[in-house]
Chain A
Amino acid sequence: MSRLLGDGRRARTFRDNISGYDKQLNFAVGALLLIGTLLVWAATRQWFASQGLDPQYYLKRHVLNIVIGLLLAYGTTLIDYRLLRAYTPFVWGIGVLGLLAVLIPGIGSTINGARSWISFPGGFTLQPAELAKISVIIGMAMLLAEARDKDSAPTHIDVLKALAVALVPMALIMLEPDLGEALIISAAVIAIIGVSGAPSRWVIGLLLLGVLAGFVAVKAGVIHDYQVKRLQSFVNPSADPQHSGYQLRQSRITIGSGGIIGRGLFTGPQTNGRFVPEQQTDFIFTVAGEELGFLGSGFILLLFGLFFIRAFAIASRTTDIFGRLVCIGVIAWFAFQTFENIGMTMGLMPMTGVPLPFMSYGGSSMFANLVGLGLLQSVHLRSR
């Protein structure tokens, strides 16, 4: 234990930790967790009750996920993130193994066209991509921060090594296929390379490569039919009105019908009528839109804004390059995921199945989100 906590420092007490956290960051996440819990409940209570099932089924599981996630987050803050480097290859390896495991029939299960889940007895499932995401961020940060002075930039070799760390899990995720997760990791990769001080042609080159890869993937049929349909229905919602087009249209109407003050928590007719499929997971923001209106859902956006401002503050303040790169990776991950998810529900972005951080129902994603929070707080604690 003492080795883990490192450098002969006194082990941090619980009290030290709590008082040392960035309180505004915790406030933002706490508020999002609380509102998200209410929304998951609102999205599922009437539906389950009408089926004669326990209306609090999702609520209970969601709260359980949050509790586990908060324990994971607390655990993460206990660990000196700098020591994580030593374990990075191990974490990365587990992530890759998990990604390989989902591809094996019998272990991986398919939900919504993507083989992304490992099922455990008792109805629990895990999404290895969520873990892989964290291992990629830490792995890249380690490679790009290692063995250099504060003011020197990573070499091309460093960048190539870092890219290799990212590429293996990304390739496996694309095989599932889970376009959303792959895009999130891409965003984190580009942000980390950019902030690492690497030559800017890397960033520009990678962005161009991304566009080219997307184009080739669609043309060559690597991207699945349903993904092409989703993209088409984004451009033209009547192209596939029964499925993704229907979902996007319903989603937009549900948010828009909330108006300024909303229809009231638990009383949204669109939500209670289950007109938006997957509402407790990827479309949780529509519940906020309908039931809490512009005031409530605008407040949620402000909370995310506060979260990002605080996260950037932590990234700027730390003098440790590794810590900063971890922070920027986490920020890019959350920023892309938030924008993609909320943008999708409002018709700004095409449909990819990514959950809304801290709010959507779903264990793996909730755990990963809170570990991400733990990483940010861990950097914060150790940069004072």
Chain B
Amino acid sequence: MNQRSRLSLIVTQTLVLSLMLALFGRLFFLQVASGLKYQSAALSIQSRDIVNPAIRGAITDSSGIPLAMDRPGMQITVNRSAVDALPDKGSAVFAQLGKLLSLTPAQVFTKTRLCGELAIGLRAGCWNGTRQQPIPLTKLATEAQALKVLENPTIFPGVDAAPVPIRSYPALAGENAAHVLGYTGVVTDADLANPNKRYYLNEVVGKSGLESVYDTFLRGTPGVKTLIVDRKEAITSVSQNTASIPGDNLVTHLDARLQSAAEKALSSSVQRSRSLGYHADSGAAIVLDVTNGAVLAMASYPTYDPNMWQKGLTPAQAKDLFSTTSGVPALSRAIQGEYAPASTFKSISIVAASAAGYNLNARYNCPAEVKVGTGLFKNFETKSQGNINLTEAIAVSCDTIWYQIAFDQWIKDGGLSPHPSLNDYFFNAARGFGVGKKTGIDLPGELSGRLPDRQWKQAYYDANKNFYCNYGKRAKPSDLTPYLIAIAHENCLDGNKLRAGDAVNFSIGQGDTLVTPLQLVDMYAAIANGGTLWKPQVAKAVLTPAGKVVKTFAPVKNGKIPATSADISFLHTALRAVATRGTAAGVFANYPIEVAGKTGTGQVLGRNPNGSAKDDTSWFVSFAPAAAPRYAVVMMVSQGGFGASVSAVGVKDIYSAIYGVVGNKVDPTKAIFPSSGPVVALPKVDPKYAKLPAGTVKK
């Protein structure tokens, strides 16, 4: 062998063995280093999960009456493997199904396609699940439709009918509670992508309200059957098969009858306001247990039927939920409506004045108007009350006393050139009552209201300075009135400063101050119970279907209001005087329950879509019995007019339901709660809510 030949042989040999080594290295990388990754990739190729939904836990009131529960529906499903195997790929079946269920064959076709099988844009109504799972056409079939399917397998090959759970809000006491309970819906792609949640395709989950907050308890565990399929989607084996576990029941502090009564009182207050000529576009009513923050009822107007989602929301209904012409029914006014508290704020002003050293038992002048700086601030009805004590000032809701006090304090804090260390008695008192801070209620979407203190002023100015300073260029032509231009100019110059007008407006709950009805009733509950701000809670306990307690929700303290016991006892007297000889005296004349409360009539800037000026916000916030308070009740009617004639009457209706007041007498048999207050013991929740009643249709 010559030299070159020998060398070539060695080179070839080295090359071939290196190639083999390269294969070995690659094999090691694929199987040993990345084996787990490829195993999970292979599993997702081969496995198909069939999800058997769990019965969702019921949501009940404190006595065990279901507010939300699963009820049996009748589902008609199409088995794709069977239908695809038909010579016509199922087109005859789809035509028959369309006739049976009042759908077009094209609709049936789309509903039985996996979303990936259809072009983007044609996917509306497609099936977001697997091919192996029976594909539902409807959950609300009638028994007759189901029987037709089951009795004629030759007409409906591959079609089946079986009972399924449907979320239902039975309204057994006539209650609605839509905003509190929320609703359920099919899990979104975003939820599916969340690795912490372990949802399955098409699983029904809570979307809003209690259904969403307590979803983990209510949901249960769906049964999962994992099939191993081949490339043609034929089933080769079953790798796991677990039964579903029903979800736990949620017991709330709500009382179905009280909820219903509060809703009726609210809606009749709205009607009453409208009959008085006000717009009365929306409203809210809340009942709290002042001893622990338990939410006994929470109503919002306008509302919607929570069963609407299960029936299949039509586009028109969906639009209506958020349309301003129908009053945005989707919004819960109790926790998502922010309004100026108006005169109801004066209880806070009492605490502020007391902290500033004013004698609560002294007499103060209540003139018709007070000159503050260059402006003239008038009493609500431009009436002078003369020299009165503060109890009377609360009872008759004098404004000018507060203008004077707030103006004096503003001057003491340095006026337009504030001192480095400020007393800010009014802001600090409001902050202590929780103005501008969420209560933390166990419902989603709560708003925080607004405390328009000096920091807020500065931040707001920084954000809007450019607008005010270029008002001529940026404002709508219709807003270019001499008055508004002057205001804009003023705002441009020193809009970051707390002006005298801001300070005095704040003291009577007007101006930029906003609270939610829930915040306000929580503050009055604190006044009622001696100073504790409770976190309002709807949930009371979670029970297993068998009745075992999983979790109880203990009351949570949010803090103490910054009031001395003298302030609180003063307020008890003064707020009781409102109902005996003050602004609400007419409403509560001869009423057998001693109610203490405060009216509020909040001015609202701006205009309605039809151009009319906005009507005042009508408030009445209260607690009872005045001597030993147990309940705090608020009602707010947006654009409702006067506090007394609209909301105070509504609140009285709610107390009447609680205590069983008929005429001017208490009838204990009509009372919702016994004199000892709401039930403390946990109810027995009927175990039938954890079972789907057997289907009436048999094959």
Contact = CB atoms under 8 A, between A and B. Distances in A.
A96 B5 CA distance: 30
Contacts of A185: none
A273 B230 CA distance: 4
Chain B: number of interface residues, binned into ranges = 35 or more
Contact of A253 (B20, B22, B26, B41): B41
B35 A256 contact: yes
Given A253-B38, A273-B230, A273-B231, A293 B31 contact: yes
A196 B230 CA distance: 52
Contacts of B28: 294, 298
A299 to B, nearest CB: 11
Nearest to B22: A348
Contacts of B34: 256
A346 B32 contact: no
B19 A335 contact: yes
B675 interface: no
B42 A194 contact: no
Contact of B45 (A253, A315, A335, A338): A253
A305 interface: yes
A100 interface: no
A194 B31 contact: no
B13 interface: yes
Interface string B31-56: 11011111101100110000000000
Interface residues of A, number: 55
Interface in A299-345: 301, 304-305, 308-309, 312, 315-316, 321, 324, 328, 331-332, 335, 338-339, 342-343
A348 B9 CA distance: 25
A257 interface: yes
A335 B17 CA distance: 9
Contacts of A253: 38, 41-42, 45
Interface in B1-33: 1-2, 4-5, 8-9, 11-13, 16-17, 19-20, 22-24, 26-28, 30-32
B38 to A, nearest CB: 3
Interface stretch (A108-116, A124-132, A149-157, A161-169): A149-157
Contact of B31 (A256, A304, A324, A335): A256
Interface string A238-266: 00000000000010111111111000000
A270 B35 contact: no
A275 B46 contact: yes
A346 B32 CA distance: 13
Nearest to B21: A305
B12 A328 contact: yes
Contacts of A152: 2
Contacts of B30: 252, 255-256, 289, 346
B228 interface: yes
B585 interface: no
A273 to B, nearest CB: 4
A315 B42 contact: no
Given A260-B31, A308-B13, 6 more contacts: A195-B8, A275-B45, A297-B27, A305-B20, A328-B9, A339-B23
Interface of A: 46, 50, 150-153, 191, 194-197, 200, 203, 250, 252-260, 269-270, 272-275, 289, 293-294, 297-298, 301, 304-305, 308-309, 312, 315-316, 321, 324, 328, 331-332, 335, 338-339, 342-343, 346-348
Q: Which 9 A-B pairs have the closest CB atoms?
A: A256-B38, A273-B230, A257-B42, A197-B5, A259-B35, A194-B8, A294-B31, A335-B16, A256-B30
10 contacts: A46-B236, A197-B4, A253-B45, A255-B27, A256-B30, A273-B46, A273-B230, A297-B27, A316-B9, A347-B26
Interface of B: 1-2, 4-5, 8-9, 11-13, 16-17, 19-20, 22-24, 26-28, 30-32, 34-39, 41-42, 45-46, 228-232, 234, 236
